[in-house]
Amino acid sequence: DTGVSQDPRHKITKRGQNVTFRCDPISEHNRLYWYRQTLGQGPEFLTYFQNEAQLEKSRLLSDRFSAERPKGSFSTLEIQRTEQGDSAMYLCASSSERSYTIYFGEGSWLTVV
């Protein structure tokens, strides 16, 4: 399967701990996106990369959040000092530069207790 892959699928953490999610995009895609989804909401944009360059960050991405894509391939999203409000599904998606369509991974569920 060569779709978008996310790891871990589920993470339960105590408030105040740090968590990191990894995303492996579709191999020929140079754009990579992070979205967040909470109950009753659609996916909300967090940030996106074209190759290794981070081109846009949402206001939702507080300074506790950091995303990297060091070699233009996989990406990590780290949340420091987690809060209960960070509980959500974190979605990664990728696309080709020449396509409007973005393809999502299966998501990483975060529960902060």
CA distances from 109 to 21, 25, 38, 60 (A): 10, 18, 10, 17
Q: Does 8 bind another protein (CB under 8 A)?
A: no
Nearer to another protein, 7 or 80 (CB): 7
Name the amino acid, one letter, at 78: E
Nearer to another protein, 7 or 44 (CB): 44
Q: Does 60 bind another protein (CB under 8 A)?
A: no
Nearer to another protein, 38 or 62 (CB): 38
Q: Does 88 bind another protein (CB under 8 A)?
A: no
Please give the biggest Cα pair distance in the chain.
41
